[in-house]
Amino acid sequence: MMGFVMVGLLGFGAVSFNGSIQSVGSVGDTEIPVDEYARGLQNELRASEAQFGRVLSFSEAQAVGIPDRVLSRLVQEKALENEATAISLSVGDDAVRNQIMEINAFRGLDGQFDRQNYQLSLEGAGYTESEFEAAIRAESARTLLQGAVLAGNTMDDVATETVLAFLMETRDFKIARLSEENLTTPVADPTDDVLNAYYTDNIANYTQPERKDITYAVLSPDMLIDQIQVDQAALQAEYDNR
């Protein structure tokens, strides 16, 4: 994930806030740094270019819910980080190093990890090495915790049977064809009064929609040009008058 974030930020420029506000909120004891929120927002704005064909202004981003979406995602991440910290769940330096070396954005022309490229990429994205490595470590801990929660979250027997019964449920049906021969008493022919009453009650079904007939004539110069003989003297006189 951090690798994708890095690629999204490269070439776009990083946003950093150096004022008195250091966080946009917290989950438990884990804060959401304002710089992290800004980077997430910036990455979402870049991703929106593919959808809208241009970079959205901040007001337009607000209208489509991008800032709220970024903040909601960060809150979920920090909730997992806070719990991971509370239970002392983390990963070692070797795991962090291996993940960093697998990120394509940090590789040189030979396809191997390039430390200079790594430092320049972090600088362009607004990270220090320690900040980025801490983010990798936190993300790894989140992934471990989330995997453990999902693996241990199983449905009870009643819920499982209910879902399976719904998914596997089937219906059978039979068709019975009835005709006049199946009637014990034949249906009598309707009288004129019965037919008139039915017609009156359902007159809309027997009424043709209103329509209009239009008669028109088309007359164009092409239709008459072969029948007109032009008097050259009259044509010359008209030319002279003009």
Q: Is residue 231 part of a domain?
A: no
Q: Is residue 159 part of a domain?
A: no
| CATH code for the domain of 37 | 1.10.4030.10
Q: Is residue 27 part of a domain?
A: yes
Question: With pLDDT > 90 as the criterion, what percentage of the chain qualifies?
Answer: 13
In this prediction, residues 140-144 reach a mean pLDDT of 87
Q: Give 25's contacts (C-beta < 8 A, 6+ positions apart).
A: 31, 32, 71, 75
Question: Is the overall model pTM greater than 0.85, yes or no?
Answer: no
Q: Is residue 100 part of a domain?
A: yes
Is 223's pLDDT higher than 60?
A: yes
Q: Is residue 35 part of a domain?
A: yes
227 is written with which tokens? Answer: 């029948």
pLDDT greater at residue 199 or residue 6: 199
In this prediction, residues 88-106 reach a mean pLDDT of 89
pLDDT tens digits along 8-29: 333 333 344 455 678 888 888 8
Q: Is residue 21 part of a domain?
A: yes
Domain containing 49 equals 2-153
Question: What pLDDT does 10 receive?
Answer: 38
Question: What pLDDT does 16 receive?
Answer: 43
In this prediction, residues 97-112 reach a mean pLDDT of 89
Q: Could you give the number of structural domains in the chain? A: 1
Q: Which of 81, 110, 109, 113 is nearest to 98 (CA)?
A: 113
Q: Is residue 96 part of a domain?
A: yes
Question: What pLDDT does 222 receive?
Answer: 83
Q: Is residue 193 part of a domain?
A: no
Buried b (16+ CB within 10 A) or exposed e, 81-114: bebbeeeebebeeeebeebbeebebbeeeeeeee
Element holding 124 (H helix, E strand) = helix 115-125
